[in-house]
Amino acid sequence: MVIIAPSILSADFTRLYDEIKAVTDAGAEWLHIDVMDGHFVPNITIGPVVVENIRKKTSLVLDCHLMIEHPEKYIDAFIKAGADIITIHSEAVLEPLDLITQIKKLGCKVGISINPETPLEKILHIIPKVDLVLIMSVHPGFSGQKFIDDVVPKLKQASEVIKKIKKQIYLQIDGGINNQNAGLVKKNGANVLVAASFIFKNKEYHTAINQLKEA
């Protein structure tokens, strides 16, 4: 079963609660929250205070994707704010395993993410330790980018690695996901699809989400 995780990066922040309720009613299971600091990626988005207020308004899984430098400084704040999953970038820390251990000790699920140009080999030793692997299919920073087809073999490789591990590890894809490529990424192992523009720029959220599920 595939999980659809709308990214609020493309939501209307002037009516964020209404947007969250709308995607919930439309069948979303998770809410993907892109946290950017203007350093690791060339954009600034939201912090723990917004996550805390979102948590008060929804029971959806809050999937916090930290695209920030020095994520270790902010882990406690995001967990206290109500994050269910915290995903860090392999490119943002020298030794992700230490931070992964820290996050787990605090009772939160943890994911590891790699950018389109980063080989999967960089995180092979990390995958057994996490709850989620995120393959970026755009260069992180802005929504609305075109899906990078070259990541598909890496997605399939990650799926094959995960199948050999005797635990549940979600395989997430994020970037340019729409009804034209959802079937392709699912066929190659993705079971959590992050979509921003495709959902929030659609007049009917349930139609967009159903198209992703049925692709």
User: CA 87 to CA 53: how far, in whole Å?
Assistant: 20
As given in the structure block, the two tokens for residue 25 are 């009613």
Q: Which of 34, 37, 63, 131 is catalytic?
A: 34
The dihedrals phi and psi of 120, each to the nearest 5 degrees, come to -60, -30
Is residue 174 flagged as an active site residue? yes
What per-residue string of b and e applies to 53-68 under the rule 16 or more CB within 10 Å gives b?
ebbeebebbbbbbbbb
pLDDT tens-digit readout, 39-92: 777 777 899 999 999 999 999 999 999 998 899 999 999 999 999 999 999 999
Is residue 84 flagged as an active site residue? no
Question: Which pLDDT value is given to residue 105?
Answer: 97
Confidence of residue 21 (pLDDT cuts 50, 70, 90): very high
Q: What is the pTM of this model?
A: 0.95
Residues 6+ apart with CB under 8 A from 162: 127, 133, 169, 171, 189
DSSP label at residue 28: -
Residue from 59, 17, 9, 3 nearest 35 by CA: 9
Contact 213, 4 (CB under 8 A): yes
User: CA 85 to CA 142: how far, in whole Å?
Assistant: 21
Boundaries of every domain in the chain:
3-214
Give the strands of the sheet with 30-36, arranged side by side: 3-6, 192-195, 170-174, 132-136, 109-114, 85-89, 61-67, 30-36
pLDDT tens-digit readout, 90-148: 999 988 999 999 999 999 999 999 999 999 999 999 999 999 999 999 987 666 679 99
Q: Where are the alpha helices (DSSP H) in the chain?
A: 16-25, 48-57, 75-81, 96-105, 152-163, 182-187, 197-200, 205-214
* Architecture (CATH level 2) of domain 3-214: Alpha-Beta Barrel (3.20)
